[in-house]
Structure 1
Amino acid sequence: MNRTTPDYAAIRRHLEGKQGVHYWRSLEELTDDPAFERFIEVEFPDIAPQMDRRRFLQLMGASLALGGLAACGPTPGTAVPYVAQPEIIVPGKALWYATAVQFTGYAQPVLGCTHVGRPTKLEGSPEHPASQGACDAFTQAALLQLYDPDRSQAPRFKGVESSWDAFESDAATLQAECDHDQGQGLHILMGASSSPSLQRQLEKLIVRWPKASLYRFEPFEEGRYGPARLAFGRPVEIHYLLQNADLVLSLEDDFLGAGPKQTSQARAWANRRLAAARGDGESRLVMVQASPTLTGANATETRRVQPAQLPALVRALAAALGEGSAAPLTAPDQQWVEAMAAALQSRRGRCLIVAGPHTPADVQAAVHRLNQRLDNVGRTVGYTAPVLFTRIGEAQLGDILALTQAIHNAQVRTLVMLDTNPAYSAPGDLYFREALEKVPTRIHAGLYYDETGARSHWHLCASHSLDGWGDARAVDGSVCISQPLVQPFYGTRTLVEIVAMLAGELSPDGHALVRNTWSSLPDDEWRRAVALGFIEGSALPSLQVTAEPVRIADAPVVSGLQVQFRPDPSVWDGRFSNSGWLQELPRPITTLTWDNIIGVSIAVAERYRLVSGDRISVMIDGRSVEGPAWVMPGQADTVVTLFAGYGRERSGRVGNGVGYDYAALRMADSPWLRSGATIARLDQQSSLAFTQMQHTLIGQDVVRHVPRAQAVGPARPTPELPTLYEQPVMSEPTWGMLIDTDQCIGCNACIVACQAENNIAVVGKEQVAKGRVMHWLRVDHYYDGSALDPGSTFLPVPCMHCEKAPCEVGCPVNATVHGADGLNEMVYNRCIGTRTCSSYCPYKVRRFNWYNWTENDEPSIQAARNPNVTVRSRGVMEKCTYCVQRISEARIAARKDGRPIAEGEIQTACQQTCPVQAIHFGDLSKKDSAVNKAKDSIRHYALLEELNTRPKTTYLAAIRDQKPGEEKA
């Protein structure tokens, strides 16, 4: 599509003139541009240049990274062939093991599925209260990271491959120096951690070398405990009890968005939402935000504010609730504050106020005080000791600013960096790369030979969570045990083993180190903990703390634009930038892939005549960052949002050189927000690959809402429409799916779960831009209302498995057929690639293989994929199968036992991983099945039901709540 600046004023008038609820998917859709109309009518738009051979091979690496490279090197032990095959190993039969992966220091409890010794899938641990069987996109993608061929494979000394023996020799010299001067000059920097074993080792190290210094640096976890110190006088972990909250007021806290607590918080919020849908209480969410978030997209009401206005707004709210004095507000803001205060007061003990970690510390501390005043503590919010350790012994962990100052003061003789990449992610004003060169001895341990590893004397290849022993605490504080699902592919060591080597232990054993931490556990309890994946009863106990009054400082007067710094929802701070699954995962709000953008408001776009894709320069105090603009409906007028995780130099073949790096503008004393920015439009455009307008459904009532007062009741009978098709006979079983759009938060974890389960290829930016993304499941994002402050609804769209499927009629070779159990099946060997079925499908859910992504697969790569799912070749159409391999497995087991398939025995991959339980699957032939019970709702409808395709995938309409203040409080 050519660049045409939209008439934003006309768009606003267009929406204001609509009667009732009007749904739209992008600003371009509202312009009535003929070029745009042509774009959405073409099923496979060719809007990108042809892929060159170099990029094709790079992206094959992204897809083929599913395969480990264990065959390229010796395994740590003696390989024993299956001459006498162990009884437990059955080819084609999966074995499951409990373990955990870590994300920003928090354990994510999982079950790992292995086939003949190879991990092929991760699922949330159903036994653990923090996951309850669900997990997020990052956890699903940890499997791909395990097999990433770009992982560090051997220790390096000054960039040259070395050995662990050589490092142990150098470590012995370091130990002698530290023993001589009590660790003077030894400084250790680590990423966030909750590992009791690592904490125990570091405590022993500090006792031995008391003059050593320890620091922690985690780019988006740095402010987690500081505000609690201000409120309570000590650091605490905050636990939202969202399942008990009738009303949640979020002040810039994206608690449903990407992050280590997303799964548990989304499940709790969904439980409250589900109870309200049944008529049990309320579930209202009010989001105050400057930039669109996933939490805001799911809110009853969003309120756009400039970040500088937030302190005054919170002061006024506190005053209305009886805390302190108010700051002057505009009349509309004052009216909103009074209505919100009344709504909160009327729900004492059943409401919750939360503040984001990037809001000012005094605002967060004041929120603790307000929750205490509203009797919410112990009901909708609780506190425990910190999950992430903040001190070692009596020593408080320093921050990266203190470390940088120590380097400049020549106090650092040896710097050990564990699982952190400050050379890439440190704030720009620290010039940490340059400071690092001043350190005489630099040791780095990490999963990748990254920007920091390349600038260190020693780089030590660290083990992945899935191929080494370890422990860490989950978000509730319970201790999770990580056991290896596979022997390490390379000569790696876990962090606890590396610290043991620094302390002088030769060839340490990871299992023994972790077991020693829990030596108080009897052997039978230890074995049970390993089998479960966590130690029962180890969650942190509740704390009784009192929040002291806090005065919120007046916000400084700001000029120019305000710049927010946020993690990317798919690659976070860059640690996942080499994952093809996550790079190609559409971002929840923008549906962008393979890039980061600079989010701007409609007001800024009007002022600078911007369209999405225009390259702009953001400048503050002589520093600048260039990147593509993206016009964000719902963005505060004077706010610009920059996203992390890109512009990497040493990420790997997938992540190198993609996007921009915003570090030049991020400062150590203001890591979340800066003011006084200006922007300039450059005479360039970036080619962005986004999926928002691909596979657009054409029809009425694609998305539906019902008022809360009308949401409870039985399903209405649907009239039988005339048809020329033969009436299908429902067999037993007949499988079907129900998706609750009121529960779906748009997190996209289901997409990654489907990709991992079904061997779906990564195709790359150019192919995504052409509409050739291979995901079997997409999550459409629909806006409604004003472009300045829109509402949002998410609509997951898999194959509908229609009873009267047009694709079956369209296929000339009978490659898509109706199965005995009601599934719309693909026979890959028959498909000749006419794509007729795709043109006949009104739901746009079929995917065509334009390339053969698997032709260069090594045997090890083939072994790493799900062996129960056929790997498709070029020229073949594919689509959602309802995870037919899981259906077959359950059917075989039931026949063997001489019984019917039990209710809930089959879960599709998307259903199993969904943190909010928005997806139901089961047997439609049984009237009392869970899926049929869920369908018996006045909210039930079928997508494009006027076409009479009789889809087996149907939906529950979202529920529209009244905003606080619209009803009698």
Structure 2
Amino acid sequence: MSNRDKNNEISPIREQISQQIKNNVSGKKGREFWRSLEELSDTEKFRDYLHREFPALNAPETDPGMLDAGGRRNFLKLMSASLAFAGLTACTRQPDELIVPYVSTPDGIVPGKPQFYATSILQGGVASGLLVESHQGRPTKIEGNPEHPGSLGGTDLFSQASVLQLYDPDRSQAVLYLGDPRTWGDFLGEFRSAVDGQRTRQGSGLRILTENTTSPSLADQLKQIQAEFPQAKWHTYEPDSRDGARMGVQMAYGEPLNVVYQFDKADVVFSLDANFMAEGPGSVRYARDFIGKRKLTGGSSEMNRLYCAESTLTVTGAKADHRLPLKAGQIESLAREVAGQLGVSAGAPGTLSAEAKKFAAAVAKDLKAAGGKSIVIAGEHQPESVHAIAHAINSALGNAGSTVVYTDPIESNPVNQWASISELIADMNAERVDLLLIIGANPVYNAPPVKDARSGREVTFLDAMKKVATRVHMGLYNDETAAQCQWHIPQTHYLEAWDDARAYDGTVSIIQPLIMPLYNGKSAHELLAAVVNQAGKTSYDILRDYWKTQMGAEFDQKWKQSLHDGLVAGTALPARPVQLKADWAASLGPVRQGRSEIVFRIDPTVHDGRFANNSWLQETPKPINKITWDNFAIISPKTAADMGLAGNEEPYHATAKMIRLINAGKTLSMPAWVQPGQPDDTVTVYLGYGRDRAGSVGSKLGFNTYSLRTAGTPWIATDNVKFEVGEGTYVLASTQEHFNIDASGIDTDAFIPAENDLTARHIVRTASLEEYRKDPKSVHHGAHTPGKEMTIYPGWDYTGYAWGMTIDMNACFGCNACVVACQSENNIAVVGKEMVIRGRIMHWLRIDTYFKGGTVNPEVYFQPMMCQHCENAPCEVVCPVNATVHDAEGLNVQVYNRCVGTRYCSNNCPYKVRRFNYLIYGDWDSPSLKNLRNPEVTVRTRGVMEKCTFCVQRIMSAKIEAEKQDRKVQDGEVMTACQTACPTDAIIFGDINDPKSRVVELKKEPRNYEVLADLNTRPRSSYLASIRNTNAELAGKNGQGNNHQG
């Protein structure tokens, strides 16, 4: 039975949830902290789920080979037979490979010792600096480059997962002509003939389509082509183009400019639907700078303040001190309201609620008080008018040149990309194009249709492209666009190619390869060189020749230094003085608002679809809703209740009702997800799914929301928009209710707090800044921590190293970089959607999301949760074979060869952080994926329990280096994978026996606490409570934010 055919009618439980959602919306009091609408509604089925010791057995379609869900007693009887095998080692499948030693070791390679090289990844054409770990010529792990201004050592989940894309066996592996393998030489022969035909016509029939690029050397090549073919056209298109931002700054200042925000200098930030910590150029750096003003360590009691009005609950909005859920079409009205209160003439705002006007007044007052130490930032998917208003407000406040810096554009071709792709479609449809080069883009999948000027009908990119005589596609995959071109050229991955690009501030990064092209791919440089009869030049030659002209006489020294540093020193673009146009507001039209709207957003895990075949990203739970392997339509609880759409019925999966979306005559049915904090009458959909040719992982997943998009309304559709209840249901895999720790495994009422409330367990601790200043220990009010002497275990004197961790919840914003970094470092397997539904996801680290308040506008808190390495570890005492034990440095270690799979340890772990290999999940057959694995970490197999090790392999490596130098490991020499990946420095690891270590200093902070300390497990990991800098004029009665909607 298909997902859509299951549960075609709303069950009584779903109706009960729907009614309880209505009650909560109408003001019925519920829990203070909650993880899902089901928990808030407190249904009988959810209570039953909480009291089951093995909730995974409640998963749908229980495997016939699994034990009946009926009884713990039967389970224990059957599993106790494992004691007979206690003396045996685990049965492990090893790859059948012949090990061949080096006859002569290559220079620079020490077997077993990794090397690191500086390079950069391109996201939207903008560079973010990386350090890549390489084991004997194999890139295996991505780290941030601490010297690069775009990252400062941090990363995001896309950077972390990019190494899997390198080794993806589904990557394009050969030059293809009409689907048949050819050689590069075959292509050049045909291609020269087509190019020569354009020379006599000055290139009038030549079109080149690229994604957004900031590469100086690639731009130089394209200038050479345009000089040789003056009538040729270079088009640029990204489905998540920043046209609104480009056009907005031009509207305000009269010229295209790049905007750089200095969040480390801002005391007040006002976000107009901008998810600036997770989207757009500079997001990694912006997250670091913004969170750096919220650390509250070392005695500091000063914080910045963030106001956020947004159409979808994002990770940025989750960190806001005050958040206003607002329809995307009303953001401009709010911007005009704030502008008016600051004396900036921006026209009359549209209709706003009293709550929204109150919000605007408080924002304006705070911005005015902060003066030139504030930032107003607009979301990149907002129209140019909102961006122009934001620039005008920044100018009036004195932010321009201070916290908001303007430079020349970093893009090599700073055009309106929607206009550019529309022009290309029109030219192809009019048969003005004879030779089309598509480099990296996939417009057949993601380009919008345009209206034909003569017939008035819509023309798709594919319809128009079929009229082009010679079509050439270069890309990493044989994707939807490649299938419609005569020639397809495999493109090199960024870890295989020489390239350059600019960071968000204009700093040039040199991208150097760490491995030869796995599939004889070619770079964009080499393809463009063939256009001007330079087919013999490599990308290295092209790059080096260009920078010889830029670096001058000291080229050799500067080149080597640039390769070492990963950037060209002194290339950041200088700040430009700017003057707001006197008539900037003249082009502002009336505010357009619709009753209902559809908002399109880039997917948090697969982006615009380019990462659809990356299984690490597919299985990474999306922030806020924790859904994997799918996209969906986000609606508010009230909208769901009004439409008769209930919330989730099962704790381990979501049987979602289908919703039919209609935009300008286009229709798409997809599952509806009820999400707190979503504005009413607004449906948000993620792009990037519903692909036909993504690869074996990503094809046929989810729904193609590009089919709803139009060129006129690429991000916000308000005219002719409807949504209605669709037919059937669809099963979504959400991990939000997996691994509950508030009462799991506890069956005695005496130990269950009142109402099983998360607040009573004190899992999440929080306070307002005002409360914190009055009493720093106010975050622990009501909490109980047993004395260390209260234990039946014998003590242990940790005289050497004693490893521990502290996580600052004020700094964590749920970006998932740590989750993917842990997976990459520790060879963690992917299990697939069906296994996720069964509760078998293998991630060693998860990010728990907690809500506080009502469903309309709850506060959101993120809590990374991994093995806590308890000194009184409950898992250790129940293992019958000593597979989980404590070492002399306080680590709770797992001995894989001893494990016989009783799973007693997982049952007894109150933090629910242990993962069991029910099956052989790893891919042992694809040769390329064998190169991906970290050789310092054992690859586990079926029947073995696993968990976080505090990256023990990194600890051992640092200890070996220290012993060679006859010294102790210094603070900061051991950094876990999650720690190095974190863009905001939220995770600190070190030796708690070192009184000068950062981790010890943080554990002395008044905000420090241990989760479930009342169980006396004495975890080595602790947390710093979250603090919000609330405005008394907007704060609720509890002093912690508001719960209103515009």
State whether structure 2 residue 460 is matched by structure 1 residue 431.
Answer: yes
State whether structure 2 residue 607 is matched by structure 1 residue 595.
Answer: no
Other-structure match for 1:894: 962
Give yes or no for contact 1:714–1:936 (8 Å, CA) kept in 2. Answer: no
Shift of 1:263: 0.9
- Taking the aligned partners of 1:861 and 1:312, their CA distance within structure 2 comes to 51
State whether structure 2 residue 14 is matched by structure 1 residue 4.
Answer: yes
Secondary structure of the corresponding residue to residue 293 of structure 2:
helix
Give yes or no for contact 1:417–1:444 (8 Å, CA) kept in 2. Answer: yes
User: What CA deviation, in whole Å up to 9, does each residue of 1:860-888 have, x standing for no partner?
Assistant: 54343100000011000000000000000
Residue 949 of structure 2 aligns with an amino acid whose one-letter code is: T
Cα distance, 1:772–1:260 mapped onto 2, change above 3 Å: farther
State whether structure 2 residue 832 is matched by structure 1 residue 764.
Answer: yes
- Taking the aligned partners of 2:484 and 2:927, their CA distance within structure 1 comes to 35
* Aligned counterpart for 1:478 among listed residues 483, 507, 527: 507
State whether structure 2 residue 610 is matched by structure 1 residue 579.
Answer: no
Other-structure match for 1:44: 56
Give yes or no for contact 2:21–2:637 (8 Å, CA) kept in 1. Answer: no
Other-structure match for 2:531: 502
State whether structure 2 residue 164 is matched by structure 1 residue 152.
Answer: no
State whether structure 2 residue 1039 is matched by structure 1 residue 944.
Answer: no
Q: Percent identity among equivalent residues?
A: 40
Cα distance, 1:557–1:91 mapped onto 2, change above 3 Å: closer
Cα distance, 1:856–1:944 mapped onto 2, change above 3 Å: same
Give yes or no for contact 1:339–1:964 (8 Å, CA) kept in 2. Answer: no
* Aligned counterpart for 1:744 among listed residues 812, 819, 836: 812
State whether structure 2 residue 124 is matched by structure 1 residue 104.
Answer: yes
Shift of 1:413: 1.3
State whether structure 2 residue 59 is matched by structure 1 residue 33.
Answer: no
Other-structure match for 1:706: 767
User: What CA deviation, in whole Å up to 9, does each residue of 1:679-733 have, x standing for no partner?
Assistant: 2323311111110000011151110102213436887996515221112322321
User: What CA deviation, in whole Å up to 9, does each residue of 1:873-911 have, x standing for no partner?
Assistant: 100000000000000000111111100001100000000
Shift of 1:290: 1.6
Other-structure match for 1:412: 433
- Taking the aligned partners of 2:961 and 2:303, their CA distance within structure 1 comes to 42
Residue 59 of structure 2 aligns with an amino acid whose one-letter code is: I
Cα distance, 1:602–1:108 mapped onto 2, change above 3 Å: same
Cα distance, 1:830–1:859 mapped onto 2, change above 3 Å: farther
Other-structure match for 1:828: 896
User: What CA deviation, in whole Å up to 9, does each residue of 1:200-246 have, x standing for no partner?
Assistant: 00000001100001111101124141111111111111111111111
TM-score by length of 1: 0.94
Give yes or no for contact 1:800–1:953 (8 Å, CA) kept in 2. Answer: yes
Cα distance, 1:216–1:623 mapped onto 2, change above 3 Å: same
State whether structure 2 residue 282 is matched by structure 1 residue 261.
Answer: yes
Cα distance, 1:118–1:378 mapped onto 2, change above 3 Å: same
Shift of 1:156: 0.8
Other-structure match for 2:68: none
Give yes or no for contact 1:577–1:646 (8 Å, CA) kept in 2. Answer: yes
Cα distance, 1:32–1:329 mapped onto 2, change above 3 Å: closer
Give yes or no for contact 1:277–1:711 (8 Å, CA) kept in 2. Answer: no
Give yes or no for contact 1:745–1:794 (8 Å, CA) kept in 2. Answer: yes
The answer for unaligned runs of 5 or more in structure 1 is 54-70, 72-79
- Taking the aligned partners of 2:813 and 2:315, their CA distance within structure 1 comes to 7
- Taking the aligned partners of 1:14 and 1:184, their CA distance within structure 2 comes to 64
After superposition, where does 1:81-480 map in structure 2 within 5 Å? 82-223=102-243, 224-274=245-295, 278-279=299-300, 281-324=302-345, 325-327=347-349, 329-390=352-413, 399-429=420-450, 430-480=459-509
Give yes or no for contact 1:387–1:473 (8 Å, CA) kept in 2. Answer: yes
Shift of 1:628: 0.7
Other-structure match for 1:872: 940
Other-structure match for 2:674: 631
User: What CA deviation, in whole Å up to 9, does each residue of 1:501-548 have, x standing for no partner?
Assistant: 122223321111001110132111101111111111111111111222
Residue 769 of structure 2 aligns with an amino acid whose one-letter code is: R
Cα distance, 1:14–1:370 mapped onto 2, change above 3 Å: closer
Other-structure match for 1:524: 557
How many residues get paired?
Answer: 940
Give yes or no for contact 2:18–2:645 (8 Å, CA) kept in 1. Answer: no
Other-structure match for 1:558: 594
Residue 690 of structure 2 aligns with an amino acid whose one-letter code is: G
Other-structure match for 2:88: none
State whether structure 2 residue 699 is matched by structure 1 residue 670.
Answer: no
State whether structure 2 residue 787 is matched by structure 1 residue 720.
Answer: yes
Secondary structure of the corresponding residue to residue 820 of structure 2:
helix
Cα distance, 1:17–1:439 mapped onto 2, change above 3 Å: closer
Give yes or no for contact 1:215–1:398 (8 Å, CA) kept in 2. Answer: no
User: What CA deviation, in whole Å up to 9, does each residue of 1:129-148 have, x standing for no partner?
Assistant: 22111100000111000000
Give yes or no for contact 2:270–2:376 (8 Å, CA) kept in 1. Answer: yes
User: What CA deviation, in whole Å up to 9, does each residue of 1:607-659 have, x standing for no partner?
Assistant: 21113511121113332011110011111111011110000011000000000
Residue 533 of structure 1 aligns with an amino acid whose one-letter code is: G
User: What CA deviation, in whole Å up to 9, does each residue of 1:113-142 have, x standing for no partner?
Assistant: 111111110101111122111100000111
- Taking the aligned partners of 2:340 and 2:660, their CA distance within structure 1 comes to 41
Give yes or no for contact 1:214–1:398 (8 Å, CA) kept in 2. Answer: no
Other-structure match for 2:687: 644
Give yes or no for contact 2:329–2:716 (8 Å, CA) kept in 1. Answer: no
Cα distance, 1:692–1:418 mapped onto 2, change above 3 Å: same
- Taking the aligned partners of 1:21 and 1:684, their CA distance within structure 2 comes to 32
Secondary structure of the corresponding residue to residue 200 of structure 2:
helix
Give yes or no for contact 2:527–2:535 (8 Å, CA) kept in 1. Answer: no
Shift of 1:964: 6.2
After superposition, where does 1:787-826 map in structure 2 within 5 Å? 787-826=855-894
Residue 248 of structure 1 aligns with an amino acid whose one-letter code is: V
Other-structure match for 1:56: none
Residue 359 of structure 2 aligns with an amino acid whose one-letter code is: W
Secondary structure of the corresponding residue to residue 111 of structure 2:
coil
Secondary structure of the corresponding residue to residue 15 of structure 2:
coil
The answer for unaligned runs of 5 or more in structure 2 is 1-6, 66-96, 451-458, 648-655, 744-760, 1040-1046
Residue 883 of structure 1 aligns with an amino acid whose one-letter code is: C
Other-structure match for 1:59: none
Secondary structure of the corresponding residue to residue 688 of structure 1:
strand
- Taking the aligned partners of 2:435 and 2:1034, their CA distance within structure 1 comes to 62
After superposition, where does 1:60-75 map in structure 2 within 5 Å? none
State whether structure 2 residue 732 is matched by structure 1 residue 732.
Answer: no
Other-structure match for 2:994: 926
- Taking the aligned partners of 2:480 and 2:246, their CA distance within structure 1 comes to 28
Cα distance, 1:858–1:596 mapped onto 2, change above 3 Å: closer
Cα distance, 1:152–1:50 mapped onto 2, change above 3 Å: farther
- Taking the aligned partners of 1:276 and 1:323, their CA distance within structure 2 comes to 38
Give yes or no for contact 2:733–2:837 (8 Å, CA) kept in 1. Answer: yes
After superposition, where does 1:610-621 map in structure 2 within 5 Å? 610-612=645-647, 613-621=656-664
- Taking the aligned partners of 1:650 and 1:323, their CA distance within structure 2 comes to 50
- Taking the aligned partners of 1:9 and 1:34, their CA distance within structure 2 comes to 14
Cα distance, 1:172–1:860 mapped onto 2, change above 3 Å: closer
Other-structure match for 2:843: 775
- Taking the aligned partners of 2:298 and 2:617, their CA distance within structure 1 comes to 33
